[in-house]
Chain A
C-alpha cells in the first residue's frame, strides 16, 4: 500500500463569480512525481498556489500527511515549511547574496544554527553547480542560475513535497536544460513533486502521472506518461499536444 502524502478533496476556487478550480481532487503518493499540463490560464498555477495556501479556497480541503492546510490557521507557517515552492519569476531576495537567500528561512524560521545551515546550503549549491557563486547577488546571476538557487532555497527546508510552478517558462531556451536536470536528479532521489510545466519532453521524462487540466477540471489523467504523450485518449488533449509537435504538422 502506497502512502498518500498530499490529499486534495473537492476543492473549489473562484475569483468572485469566476470559477478557476471546480471540484478538484487529487492524491499524491510519497515519492511520486505528478505533472500538470494544460493551456495557459487554465488554473494550473492557481492550483499550486492553493496547495500552500497562497490563495484561499472556497470549498473542499487540502491535507498534507492528514493535516489540513488552511490559510488562516495558526499552524500555516509550519505547514508551509513542509511544502516547498519554486515560482516562475526568479523570486530570490535581491538584497541578499545567494547564500543569505538560502539560509534566511532555516535560521529565522526553523531556528537552525548559522554554521549548520550554511554547511547544508553549500552542499546543496555544490549539487546544483553553484557553490562558487554563493556570495554573488541575484542580479549577478543568469536566469538559470537564479532558478537553481531558488530550488536550493526551497530544498534546504526539507519539504515533504515540492511544488514547481512553470519554473522554466521565463528562461532562455539554453538555460532550461540546466534547471530541468536538477529537477530530474531530485526525482531520481525520490522527492515528491507536483510540477506545472509547458516542457512536454521534460514532462514525459519525469512524470509518474500526468494530469491534463483545463477550465479548472482534469480532462485526462494517465499513470502511463509515455502512453499519454503518444496516444492521448481525449480529443482535447490530442489537440493540445499537437500544438507542440511540429513534425507531424508538416507530414500530415
Chain B
C-alpha cells in the first residue's frame, strides 16, 4: 500500500489545527446561513408583493448575485470597500457579508417560489374563517412554505458551506488553508501528504454536510 501521508496529521497539533480551521469555516457558514434564512424569508415575502419598484430592485439584486462569482464579491468587499470607504473590516466580517448577500438573494427567490406555489384557495379559506393577513401568514402559509423550502434550502446551505473554502483567498485560515499549511510544512518528510490531508478535509466537509442532508430527508419524509 502506498504511503497516503495521513501520518502528518498526527504530528504535533496538526489535527486539532485542522479542526480549528473547520470551525472557522463552519462558523462563517452558520452565521451567514442564519442571516440568509431570516432575511430571505422577509425578502421572499416582499418579492411576492405587487410593488413594481420593489420587484425591479430584487430582480437586479438577484441577477447581480447570480452573475458575479463569489470570489469577486469577496475581493470587492474585503479589498475594495475597505480602501474606498476607509473602514476597518475584518476578513471574517467581509466573508459573512458576502455569503449573506448571496444567501439572502437565493433564499429570497426560493421563498418567493414556495410562496407562489401555495394555492390561492389556501389564502381564501383562511380569509373566509375570519383570519387576518398576519394570522394567515403565520398559521397557514408560512408552515406550508417552510415544508416546501426544506429540500431546496438544504441544497443552498450545503453549497454555502462548501463555498466557504474561498475565504482563504482573503486571508482567513480555514480548514483548506490549514491543510495547505500542514502539507507545505511537511513537504520534505511526507511528500504524499497532499493526498492524505486533502482526503481528510474532504471527509470533514462530508461529516458537516451529511447530517444536514439527512435531516432534510427526515423532515421531508415526516411532512410529505
Report A's interface with B, CB cutoff 8 A: 49, 52, 54, 77-81, 83-85, 87, 89, 91-95, 104-105, 108-110, 150, 153-154, 157
**Distance, CA A244 to CA B122, complexed state (A):** 32
Output the nearest chain B residue to A49 by Cβ-Cβ distance: B124
List residues of B (11-33) whose CB comes within 8 Å of A's CBs: none
Contacts of B128 in A (CB 8 A): 52, 54, 80, 83-85, 87, 154
Q: Once the chains bind, are A105 and B130 in contact (CB under 8 Å)?
A: yes
Q: Once the chains bind, are A54 and B132 in contact (CB under 8 Å)?
A: no
Q: Once the chains bind, are B127 and A95 in contact (CB under 8 Å)?
A: no
B129 within 8 A of A: yes
Q: Once the chains bind, are A80 and B124 in contact (CB under 8 Å)?
A: no
**Distance, CA A92 to CA B125, complexed state (A):** 8
Output the nearest chain B residue to A80 by Cβ-Cβ distance: B130
Q: Least Cβ distance of A82 to chain B in Å?
A: 8
Q: Least Cβ distance of A1 to chain B in Å?
A: 30
B114-141 Cβ-contact flags toward A at 8 Å (1 or 0): 0000010110111111111001000110
Q: Once the chains bind, are A54 and B144 in contact (CB under 8 Å)?
A: no
Q: Least Cβ distance of B151 to chain A in Å?
A: 15
Known: A93-B144, A95-B223, A108-B139. A77 touches B125 (CB 8 A): no
B162 within 8 A of A: no
**Distance, CA A151 to CA B139, complexed state (A):** 20
Output the nearest chain A residue to B144 by Cβ-Cβ distance: A95
Contacts of B121 in A (CB 8 A): 87, 89, 91
Contacts of B139 in A (CB 8 A): 104, 108
B186-201 Cβ-contact flags toward A at 8 Å (1 or 0): 0000000000000000
Q: Once the chains bind, are B129 and A153 in contact (CB under 8 Å)?
A: yes
Q: Least Cβ distance of A6 to chain B in Å?
A: 15
Output the nearest chain B residue to A53 by Cβ-Cβ distance: B127
Contacts of A104 in B (CB 8 A): 129, 139-140
Output the nearest chain A residue to B147 by Cβ-Cβ distance: A95
Q: Once the chains bind, are B144 and A94 in contact (CB under 8 Å)?
A: yes
Q: Which of A79, A81, A89, A94 contacts B129 (CB 8 A)?
A: A81
List residues of B (26-63) whose CB comes within 8 Å of A's CBs: none
B80 within 8 A of A: no
Report B's interface with A, CB cutoff 8 A: 119, 121-122, 124-132, 135, 139-140, 143-144, 147, 223
Contacts of B223 in A (CB 8 A): 95
Q: Once the chains bind, are B131 and A108 in contact (CB under 8 Å)?
A: yes
Q: Least Cβ distance of B55 to chain A in Å?
A: 22
Q: Once the chains bind, are B129 and A91 in contact (CB under 8 Å)?
A: no
Known: A108-B135, A109-B129. A93 touches B140 (CB 8 A): yes
Q: Once the chains bind, are A54 and B124 in contact (CB under 8 Å)?
A: yes
**Distance, CA A87 to CA B131, complexed state (A):** 16
**Distance, CA A52 to CA B125, complexed state (A):** 11
Known: A54-B127, A95-B223. A77 touches B122 (CB 8 A): no
**Distance, CA A157 to CA B223, complexed state (A):** 28
Q: Least Cβ distance of B117 to chain A in Å?
A: 12
Output the nearest chain A residue to B132 by Cβ-Cβ distance: A77
**Distance, CA A52 to CA B124, complexed state (A):** 10
Can you offer 10 A-B residue contacts whose CB atoms are under 8 A? A52-B128, A77-B131, A83-B128, A87-B128, A89-B121, A91-B124, A105-B130, A108-B131, A150-B125, A157-B130
User: 8 other contacts beyond A79-B130, A105-B129, with CB at 8 A cut-off?
Assistant: A77-B132, A85-B128, A87-B128, A94-B144, A95-B147, A109-B130, A109-B132, A154-B128
Q: Least Cβ distance of A225 to chain B in Å?
A: 27
**Distance, CA A102 to CA B86, complexed state (A):** 59
**Distance, CA A154 to CA B130, complexed state (A):** 10
**Distance, CA A85 to CA B119, complexed state (A):** 17
Contacts of A52 in B (CB 8 A): 127-128
Contacts of A78 in B (CB 8 A): 130
**Distance, CA A20 to CA B147, complexed state (A):** 38
Contacts of A95 in B (CB 8 A): 143-144, 147, 223
